[in-house]
Structures are given as structure tokens and as C-alpha cells.
């Protein structure tokens, strides 16, 4: 059984955990106490010098970064990876878009808006990140207004990656009701057999679990 180092508040870890879960791979969660500095500890950095989750221990190698772990899941199972080489390339186009534009904005602005002490929250930085996130969400909304899934005719790692942060309940500039195509897409993902909310799928202090919408 593979081991995934993760914590419930991490949208990037959620992408890896949900990919493992929906592909049907047995896995075990190893909680990383990020909010008390464990990811920066010498012990954790010996596992991942980048000091980040997710980390996947397959038993024979250590993999880091959610997209790399998703690629491993596809290789191991043949699931979530598209039906053709062209679809596989399209999946990674969307994964890169997500990393740079969706998660790349949603992760920092969610952290700054909710988990950083209030006296350290910079409204100008938060406003800038929210604006960039809105632009990326508009791209997703336009794409999903014409199709059910980002690539092909079924759920792939492209969807899991781009949706990773969008299930979290904390306020960070994303109003699901304001994006009807994204809302319907998220509902389709939620209806996928085996889907779980990040606060149910991964361990942690789950600071927002009781307020989940």
C-alpha cells in the first residue's frame, strides 16, 4: 500500500489523494502537521527537500508534486488519463494551467485570507490574487459551458487538478453560485462513485470542516 503525506487543508494534496481514491489504488494517509511547522522540519525535508505536500511513498520511490503523483496514478492504473495520446497531452495542458492560474492563485489567497493571522493579511496582495483567480475561473467557466469535462467524455486528472481547491468552504474569492458551468461540473465530480470531500478524505485539524457548505 502506498503512503501519501498530506493534510486536509491542502488542495494540492487533495488532488493526489482524490486521484488515488478514484483510480482505486489502496493508499494510506500520513498526516503532516503543516500549521505547526512539520513540513519545514529536518525530518520531513529529508523526505522532500522542497518542504511541501503532497509526497507519495510508493515503496520503491518518493514522488512529489501533485501532477507527478497524478501521472504515476495514470501509469499504474490506466485510469483518469484520457483515451488517446492527444487527450493525455491535453490533460497536462490543463494541469499546468491549473498549477499556474487556478491553484497557483487559489492556494495563496485562501491561505492569506483565512489561515494567516489577521494583522499579517495584506489587502492589496489578497485583492491582486483574487483578481488573477477570477480571470482563471472565467476561462474554466467558458470551457465548461460547452462540455461536461475538460478533456474527452469522462473525468480525468485535468478535472481533478483544476477542481482541487474549489471544494473548500473558506472564503477566498470563489463563489460557486456565480459560475453556473463550474457549479454543474463540480456537482458531476461530486457524483462520481468514490468521491469524498477533502475534509473527509484526508486527516488534519480540519479548521473549516464544521462550516463546510
- pLDDT score of 204: 83
Report which DSSP code applies to 107. Answer: H
CATH top class, domain 85-190? mainly alpha
Domain assignments of the chain as residue spans, ordered by start: 2-78+196-211, 85-190
Across the chain, mean pLDDT equals 95
Q: Which residue has the cell 457524483?
A: 191
Closest CA to 53 of 30, 25, 36: 30
Q: Answer yes or no: same fold for 2-78+196-211 and 85-190.
A: no
Distance, CA of 145 to CA of 33 (rounded, Å): 39
Give the model's confidence band at 125: pLDDT under 50 very low, under 70 low, under 90 confident, else very high: very high
- pLDDT score of 56: 98
Per-residue model confidence as pLDDT tens digits over 49-71: 999 999 999 999 999 999 999 99
Q: What is the dihedral of CA 178, 104, 94, 171, to 10 degrees?
A: -20
pTM of the model: 0.94
Provide the pairing of β-strand 55-57 with 2-6.
antiparallel
Per-residue model confidence as pLDDT tens digits over 180-206: 999 999 999 999 999 999 999 999 865
Pick one of 3.40.30.10, 3.40.630.30, 3.40.50.20, 2.40.50.140 as the CATH number of 2-78+196-211.
Answer: 3.40.30.10
Number of Cβ within 10 Å of residue 119's Cβ equals: 5
Q: Is the pLDDT of residue 207 over 80?
A: no
Amino acid at each position: 500500500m502506498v503512503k501519501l503525506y498530506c493534510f486536509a487543508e491542502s488542495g494540492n494534496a487533495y488532488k493526489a489523494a482524490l486521484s488515488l481514491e478514484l483510480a482505486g489504488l489502496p493508499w494510506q494517509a500520513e498526516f503532516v502537521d503543516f500549521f505547526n511547522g512539520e513540513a519545514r522540519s529536518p525530518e520531513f525535508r529529508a523526505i522532500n527537500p522542497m518542504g511541501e505536500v503532497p509526497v507519495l511513498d510508493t515503496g520503491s520511490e518518493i514522488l512529489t508534486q501533485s501532477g507527478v503523483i497524478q501521472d504515476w496514478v495514470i501509469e499504474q492504473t490506466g485510469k483518469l488519463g484520457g483515451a488517446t495520446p492527444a487527450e493525455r497531452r491535453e490533460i497536462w495542458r490543463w494541469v499546468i494551467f491549473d498549477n499556474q492560474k487556478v491553484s497557483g492563485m487559489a492556494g495563496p489567497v485562501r491561505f492569506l485570507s483565512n489561515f494567516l493571522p489577521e494583522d499579517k493579511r495584506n489587502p492589496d496582495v489578497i485583492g491582486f490574487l483574487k483578481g488573477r483567480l477570477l480571470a482563471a475561473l472565467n476561462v474554466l467557466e467558458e470551457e465548461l459551458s460547452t462540455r461536461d469535462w475538460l478533456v474527452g467524455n469522462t473525468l480525468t486528472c485535468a478535472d481533478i487538478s483544476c477542481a482541487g481547491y474549489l471544494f473548500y468552504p473558506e472564503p477566498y474569492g470563489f463563489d460557486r453560485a456565480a459560475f453556473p458551468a463550474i457549479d454543474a461540473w463540480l456537482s458531476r465530480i461530486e457524483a462520481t462513485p468514490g468521491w469524498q470531500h477533502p475534509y473527509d478524505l484526508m486527516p488534519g485539524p480540519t479548521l473549516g470542516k464544521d462550516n463546510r457548505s
